[in-house]
Amino acid sequence: VKAIKNNASEVIMPFPGGICRSGSKAGSLKYKLKASTNHPFCPTLKKMIADSQLPEDVNAVYEIVINGLNLDAVKKAMSEGIKAALKVPGVLRISAGNYGGKLGPYKAFLKEVLGLT
């Protein structure tokens, strides 16, 4: 979050402190909610649900939501955040989701964001 705040402009991270615990998903069982907990990636539910996507040794999942004025600003923020996260001990996986386009038509592929393509 600090790396994004310090090195990427024209973006905000709308959750308190810039981080959403256990990730969110577009839609919910309640028709008035636009988003809900992404239960397959919720550590406290992993032993209670059949479709958990978390390995046994994963005890925390964080989501950093980035809203930007344009796609390039979001990509820059993603790049800064990922590069910083790679230096944090214990980080096992970094991914990104588009949620089937429910949050908008734009896609930022991680390899592209990191200049690996």
Residue 7: count of CB within 10 angstroms of its CB: 14
pLDDT tens track for 5-52: 999 999 999 988 998 876 666 666 666 666 667 888 888 888 999 999
Per DSSP, which regions of 1-117 are E strands? 11-12, 20-21, 24-26, 35-37, 62-63, 67-68
CA–CA separation, 63 and 22 (whole Å)? 7
When comparing pLDDT for 75 and 34, which is higher?
A: 75
The per-residue pLDDT for 100 is 73
CA–CA separation, 21 and 40 (whole Å)? 13
pLDDT tens track for 57-67: 999 998 898 99
The per-residue pLDDT for 25 is 67
The per-residue pLDDT for 26 is 66
